[in-house]
Amino acid sequence: MINDGWLAQVNRSHSPNYNERPPGLEIDLLVIHNISLPPGQFGGGYVQSFFANTLDSSIHPFFSEIQNLEVSSHCLIERDGSVFQFVPFDKRAWHAGRSCHQGRENCNDFSVGIELEGTDTDAYTVDQYLQLALVTRSLMSAYPEITAERIVGHSDIAPGRKTDPGESFDWERFRTALKSSQL
């Protein structure tokens, strides 16, 4: 359930990396991403710190490379299925970067971004697929322009620049879970 742009009963970890959506645009696209910080490692709360612009660059050499980036997604689904929301859905999170979907550029303007804690090559967990399906159904209810056909990977809207959610993301498994709430 979504109230005032926020999912009910999830962790909130506010990000400053968002702004207003352009007037008159409907939210009609869901973009699935992956992230792990440091790359290939899970846990530690580093993604939350990264989206809050509070990541300590002294912890890992990679963090100094990304410390000045200002990015966020609307939500993160961790390996254990925990869901964190950073930006209300009615606001424009900075998740897609240079992007284009069906001839429309700047996908952040009309999309919701969900990060899965993972990599292109590590299998996602059952809990992540279940939570992603639950969150997606809530989004589809609140924003009916988001249909099953309007759910894409970051790689679909930024080909050649992005590869996530990667070869390890099982689209059929996700679509089955979306339809039935079971895996």
Query: Cα(113)–Cα(96) distance, rounded to whole angstroms?
Result: 7
Which uninterrupted H or E stretch holds 117?
strand 111-117
pLDDT grade, residue 180 (50/70/90)?
confident
Q: How many structural domains does the chain have?
A: 1
**Largest pairwise CA distance in the chain:** 45
How many CA atoms does the CB half-sphere of 134 hold within 13 Å? Answer: 17
Catalytic residue among 20, 70, 115, 145: 115
- Domain span at 122: 2-18+25-180
The reply to whether 20 belongs to the active site is no
User: pLDDT tens for residues 40-61?
Assistant: 999 999 999 999 999 999 999 9
pLDDT at 138 over 80: yes
- Give yes or no for a cis peptide into 23 (omega within 30° of 0): no
Span 60-118, pLDDT tens digits: 999 999 999 999 999 999 999 999 999 999 999 999 999 999 999 999 999 999 999 99
> Is-contact 113 51, C-beta < 8 A?
no
Share of the chain above pLDDT 90, in %: 97
CATH number at residue 89: 3.40.80.10
Would you state the pLDDT for residue 182? 53
Of 127, 134, 123, nearest in space to 170 by CA: 123
Evaluate if residue 179 carries a pLDDT over 80.
yes
| pLDDT, mean of residues 150-173 | 97
Grade residue 181 by pLDDT with cuts at 50, 70 and 90: low
Q: Cis peptide leading into 165, omega within 30 of 0?
A: yes
Q: Are 70 and 17 in contact (CB under 8 A)?
A: yes
